[in-house]
């Protein structure tokens, strides 16, 4: 198979893309604070001659438009910019210089790939029809998410016919990409529970309402919802990720705070979860004489990849990489992504970019302090975005 010229050109950009990614990696920024990252992107895109609209909806989000000057569709390519509040322990030479913050989800690579795609497509401008809009989005990691803000307050989907994004994935080997038509990811919501009891001495529990003991029962009751009040053909997950209460071994505490997430593939089940959870939590607390505050915060809806557009994307990826390097993902996953807000409004596809390399020890999952990625994936990601866009805007010609 003869190498696609677009992929060959992308590989020549590898050093540039690595430098971009590592610079962003060294200077991670949390949700809605991505000032430096956005400026890096703005400068790069402006140098390509693209018109840039920055500070969308009062955020650091920006849109850069590559306009062919000829009638045709408009494709949006989105990259998220924010990092996570995780101390880095990857051992890389380009470690985060911001204490307690790192790009543990690969958004640094997403930005580098999108910028690389912008350069590749700018070089192909004469072949295009229509427009490509490159979106650098804030706050994917902080529900309700930057996508929702940019859409509802910034109007960035006006005139957009389709949307495209990639996400690095540590289960897929470098050199490969993964696609799935239809449902890709789950609803992702959050909850807070504050249990209020009566504190006292550890030797006299009968004079107290032990908030820790109540919290244990609340935790178990929530898992009862998963196993006995849910259709097993429409699974959901309730995870209590944080429990805090008590300060001393001989004191029965009066307050426990619990935080967690719910993950659900089915729209109807997701809609019913808050009422079911609150009923169970309040029931347990009433039975144990505790008071409770229950808060449920909607995060991201389930992400659906448009079947027709996804099939177009798969054909483009196979033409670029070869059929053996394009994986069809067998089933939806319980992760969440605010790209779902785009997919609910226009035909959209989010695909997986493989970054795993066992030989190099690059095996850790996203959101891990040890997460890193094989940078050979960067030109491949840029080329895949560009090839899909080029085919979409030229009808595959």
Mean pLDDT of 290-314: 97
| C-beta separation of 79 from 52 below 8 A | no
**pLDDT tens-digit series, residues 159-204:** 999 999 999 999 999 999 999 999 999 999 999 999 999 999 999 9
Question: Measuring CA to CA, which residue among 188, 172, 175 is closest to residue 329?
Answer: 172
Question: Measuring CA to CA, which residue among 156, 130, 131 is closest to residue 50?
Answer: 131
**Token pair in block for residue 357:** 């390399």
pLDDT for the residue 119: 98
pLDDT for the residue 397: 61
Active site residues: 82, 140
pLDDT for the residue 1: 55
Torsion-angle region of 63 (φ positive above 0: left; ψ -120 to 50: alpha; else: beta): beta
| C-beta separation of 167 from 337 below 8 A | yes
CA–CA distance, 197 with 294 (Å, rounded to integer):
15
Q: In what order do the strands lie in the sheet with 62-67?
A: 51-53, 62-67, 131-137, 74-80, 162-173, 348-356, 177-179, 326-328
**Cβ atoms < 10 Å from Cβ of 323:** 10
The burial of 257, by beta-carbon neighbours within 10 Å (0-12 exposed, 13-18 middle, 19 or more buried), is given as middle
Percent of the chain with pLDDT over 70: 99
Q: How confident is the model at residue 144 (pLDDT cuts 50, 70, 90)?
A: confident
**Cβ atoms < 10 Å from Cβ of 159:** 11
Q: Which domains does the chain have, with CATH numbers?
A: 5-186+302-394 (3.40.630.10), 187-300 (3.30.70.360)
**Token pair in block for residue 78:** 């989105």
- CA separation, residue 283 to residues 25, 290, 357 (Å): 47, 10, 49
pLDDT greater than 60 at residue 389: yes
**Cβ atoms < 10 Å from Cβ of 49:** 10
CA–CA distance, 185 with 105 (Å, rounded to integer):
16
CA–CA distance, 127 with 121 (Å, rounded to integer):
9
Mean pLDDT of 121-136: 97
Q: How confident is the model at residue 234 (pLDDT cuts 50, 70, 90)?
A: confident
pLDDT for the residue 362: 97
Question: Measuring CA to CA, which residue among 132, 156, 168, 161 is closest to residue 45?
Answer: 132
**pLDDT tens-digit series, residues 306-363:** 999 999 999 999 999 999 999 999 999 999 999 999 999 999 999 999 999 999 999 9
| C-beta separation of 187 from 338 below 8 A | no
Strands 162-173 and 348-356: parallel
Residue entry with tokens 């196979």: 318
Q: To the nearest whole number, what is the mean pLDDT of the chain?
A: 96
**Entry pTM:** 0.93
**pLDDT tens-digit series, residues 23-39:** 999 999 999 999 999 99
CA–CA distance, 182 with 197 (Å, rounded to integer):
46
pLDDT for the residue 302: 96
Mean pLDDT of 245-261: 97
Question: Measuring CA to CA, which residue among 226, 210, 193, 246 is closest to residue 334?
Answer: 226
pLDDT for the residue 2: 66
| C-beta separation of 63 from 155 below 8 A | no
pLDDT for the residue 231: 87
**What is the signed CA dihedral for 156, 114, 146, 132, rounded to 10 degrees?**
10
Give the CA count within 13 Å in the CB-facing half-sphere of 172: 21
pLDDT for the residue 396: 65
C-alpha triplet 154, 159, 165: angle, nearest 5°: 75
């Amino acid at each position: 198979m003869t190498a696609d010229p677009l992929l060959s050109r992308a590989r020549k950009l590898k050093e540039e893309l690595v430098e971009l990614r590592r610079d962003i990696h060294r200077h991670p920024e949390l949700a809605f604070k991505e000032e430096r990252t956005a400026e890096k992107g703005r400068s790069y895109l402006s140098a390509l001659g693209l018109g840039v609209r920055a500070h969308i909806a009062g955020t650091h989000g920006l849109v850069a438009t590559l306009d062919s000057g000829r009638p045709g569709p408009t494709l949006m390519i989105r990259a998220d910019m924010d990092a996570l509040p995780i101390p880095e322990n990857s051992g890389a030479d380009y470690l985060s210089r911001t204490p307690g913050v790192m790009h543990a989800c690969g958004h640094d690579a997403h930005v580098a790939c999108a910028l690389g795609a912008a350069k590749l497509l700018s070089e192909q401008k004469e072949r295009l029809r229509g427009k490509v809009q490159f979106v650098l989005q804030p706050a994917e990691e902080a529900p309700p998410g930057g996508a929702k803000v940019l859409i509802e307050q910034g109007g960035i989907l006006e005139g957009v016919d389709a949307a495209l994004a990639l996400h690095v994935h540590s289960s897929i080997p470098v050199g490969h990409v993964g696609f799935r038509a239809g449902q890709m990811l789950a609803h992702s919501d959050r909850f807070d529970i504050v249990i209020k009891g009566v504190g006292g001495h550890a030797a006299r529990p009968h004079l107290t309402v032990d908030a820790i003991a109540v919290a244990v029962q609340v935790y178990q009751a929530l898992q009862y919802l998963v196993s006995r009040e849910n259709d097993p053909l429409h699974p959901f997950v309730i995870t209590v990720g944080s429990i805090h209460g008590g300060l001393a071994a001989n004191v029965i505490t009066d307050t426990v705070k619990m935080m967690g997430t719910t993950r659900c593939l089915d729209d109807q089940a997701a809609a019913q979860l808050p009422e079911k959870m609150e009923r169970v939590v309040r029931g347990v607390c009433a039975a144990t004489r505790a008071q409770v505050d229950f808060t449920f915060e909607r995060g991201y809806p389930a992400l659906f990849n448009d079947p027709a557009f996804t099939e177009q994307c798969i054909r483009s990826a196979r033409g670029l990489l070869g059929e053996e390097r394009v994986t069809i993902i067998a089933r939806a996953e319980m992760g969440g992504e605010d790209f779902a807000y785009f997919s609910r409004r226009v035909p959209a596809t989010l695909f997986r970019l493989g970054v795993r390399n066992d030989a190099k020890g690059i095996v850790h999952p996203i959101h891990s302090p040890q997460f890193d990625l094989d940078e050979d994936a960067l030109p491949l990601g840029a080329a895949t975005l560009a090839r899909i866009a080029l085919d979409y805007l030229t009808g595959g010609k």
